[in-house]
Amino acid sequence: MFSDFRREEPDALARRLEALTLPDSVYDLLLTTATRVPAAPAWRFLDDGVERRWGEVLSSVDTAAAALSAVGIGPGVHVAVMAWNREEFPITWLALSRLQAVMVPVNATYTAREVEYVLKTSLATHMVLEAEFLPHLDRLEAVRLDPSHVIVIGDAVSDRHRNWRVLMDEARGRQAPAIPRSMDATLNLQYTSGTTGFSKACMLSNEYWLCLGISSTEFFATDLHRFYVGSSFFYMVGQRILLNAMASGGCAFFPRKPGAKRFMPDVSALDCDYCALFEMVYKQPPRASDADNRLKIATIFAFGPESHVDFQRRFDVYGQEFYGMTEIGGGSYVPAHRLPEMTGSGSCGVAAPFRELMVTGGDGKPVPTGETGELWVRGRGILKGYFGNEDATADAFTDGWFRTGDLCRVDAGGYHYILGRTKDMVRRMGENIAAREVEVVLRMLDDIQDAAIVPVPDDYRGEEIKVYILLAPGASPDTCTPEFIAEHCSRHLAGFKVPRYYEYRDSFPLTDSQRVQKKHLIAEKPDLRVGSYDRQDKIWR
């Protein structure tokens, strides 16, 4: 297991990075990299056979900027982009940074209704999309894009829309307008579902991405060269990993449609030394070759302590916890040289560079060390607000602090521990039960890939606990029974925390940051008991 990490303490790293003069934009970071290492491999799109060097990427981005400006895209113009992982997506993003325009990433799994919501609330006037998504535009009811403002990627023939390849060919050799670039300019309207209400568009500046990309690259505390982008580029994680590769002068590897099954086989076959993954990747069936990889470090998100330890044993690599949200970028991290002692602690680490963290009781004052409160964050480059939603913006901030909605405690060493959501609770017979605490225990079972806890109204106890269960591949309700699950929970939790109701699912609705959208689960049926096993009454309801 690689462990030769640079030993730079968090305070020293923060002072060093916060003293840097950052580039004026994400495009300028690309320009710096392409000037420094023009012949170095930049990215490879695995399923399209596309490979570029950094000098070639810069040339393509400059051509795209000229092409996009020719169709009216310039400073402040909102451009929706809907595609799977293919090179036109990051080329568009980087070209928009040069033009000081704004990208609105659209989830490629969205329905026409959801696409319409994004277009309507983002006020996008232009759209770049793969040909397979054109039918969505025909189903729009309340929004209409000028057909000449729609740029189609692929071979679809359309007299009404523009073709990406034709535009690029026409723009070759032309220069985009010389536009002064400012890191304060909004680069993304990044939609985040959160846990309540409709999706909101986070206004993320070039500065946001520079702080996130440069600081997270330093978290790794070693030189990395081959980055696996196991996330769709419409998610912020995919965009962040590209910036890691850019800041390092390394190469990013993109699967067209990322998935848990192909994740580690890809990482091994490509000799990648970095990846970022959620627990569902770890929950794939073990393979004899799991440890046969070149990983130096892996970013992990919200692993339970037992899963963290076993992940490292199984894949022979340290998993570095990282706390972040779309709104704040990187909030905290576990220093790489501290990973041996922090493994299995459940901590998401110390404050990241450019960030201040405070655990508060809600009155704007810190709670005593070790006590639970809400995590608030402030710092350079965090979201400007929610586009077109002043009420949500006002609710999210108090005196410059962003209120994360996450319950947290901090120890005497400055290490933070996320305990759940302020509203992700079950109150049973006067006891507050953090859903995440129960979910972590449930995911300890090999047969459970994911689990989601929700409250069920109860006349006697106030609320009962219901668990939705997503079984791991190869598992079945016949072997991983409700009683078996309850017995496991009873071994690790107080009796009042053991779920009463159990329902199996084939999939979960997920937010952009891969959290279960519990509000959708709750809205599926008026009586949440229906279709579940009642452990108290020993019946299926």
Query: Cα 428 to the chain's mean position, in Å?
Result: 32
Instruction: Please write down the HEC assignment for all residues of 193-244.
Output: CCCCCCCEEEEEEHHHHHHHHHHHHHHCCCCCCEEECCCCCCCHHHHHHHHH
Is 28 in a helix, a strand, or coil?
helix
Per-residue pLDDT 10s for the chain (541 aa) are 999 999 999 999 999 999 999 999 999 999 999 999 999 999 999 999 999 999 999 999 999 999 999 999 999 999 999 999 999 999 999 999 999 999 999 989 888 888 999 999 999 999 999 999 999 999 999 899 999 999 999 987 678 899 999 999 999 999 999 999 999 999 999 998 544 446 799 999 999 999 999 999 999 999 999 999 999 999 999 999 999 999 999 999 999 999 889 999 999 999 999 999 877 788 888 999 999 999 999 999 878 788 899 999 999 999 999 999 999 999 999 999 999 999 999 999 999 999 999 999 878 899 999 999 999 999 999 999 999 999 999 999 999 999 998 899 999 999 999 987 776 778 787 666 778 888 988 999 999 999 999 999 987 788 899 999 999 999 999 999 999 999 999 888 878 889 999 999 999 998 766 788 898 999 999 999 999 999 999 999 9
What are the pLDDT digits (tens) for 45-68?
999 999 999 999 999 999 999 999
C-alpha neighbours within 13 Å on the C-beta side of residue 304: 22
97 and 187 in contact (C-beta within 8 Å)? yes
Domain with CATH 3.40.50.12780 in the chain: 10-354
CATH architecture of 10-354: 3-Layer(aba) Sandwich (3.40)
What is residue 417's predicted lDDT score, i.e. its pLDDT?
95
pLDDT at 267: 98
State the residue for tokens 């934009």. 25
Q: How far is CA 192 from CA 204, 228, 512, in A?
A: 12, 23, 6
Considering the chain, tell me which residue range(s) the CATH 3.30.300.30 domain(s) occupy.
424-540
Which H or E run contains 451? Answer: strand 448-458
The answer to whether the CB of 286 falls within 8 A of the CB of 312 is no
Q: What's the pLDDT score for residue 197?
A: 45
- What is the pTM for the complete model shown? 0.84
Distant-in-sequence, close-in-space partners of 340: CB < 8 Å, separation ≥ 6: 3, 318
Q: Which of 141, 143, 140, 127 is nearest to 82 (CA)?
A: 127
Give the three-state DSSP class for 399. coil
Share of the chain above pLDDT 90, in %: 82
Task: Give the residue carrying structure tokens 């109701």.
Answer: 501
Q: What is the predicted pLDDT for the residue at 192?
A: 82
Of 105, 99, 100, 97, the residue nearest 124 (C-alpha): 105
Strand partners, 333: 322, 350
Regarding the domain delimited by 424-540, which CATH topology (the fold level of the hierarchy) does it fall under?
Answer: GMP Synthetase; Chain A, domain 3 (3.30.300)
Instruction: Reduce the DSSP state of residue 383 to 3 states and report it.
Output: coil
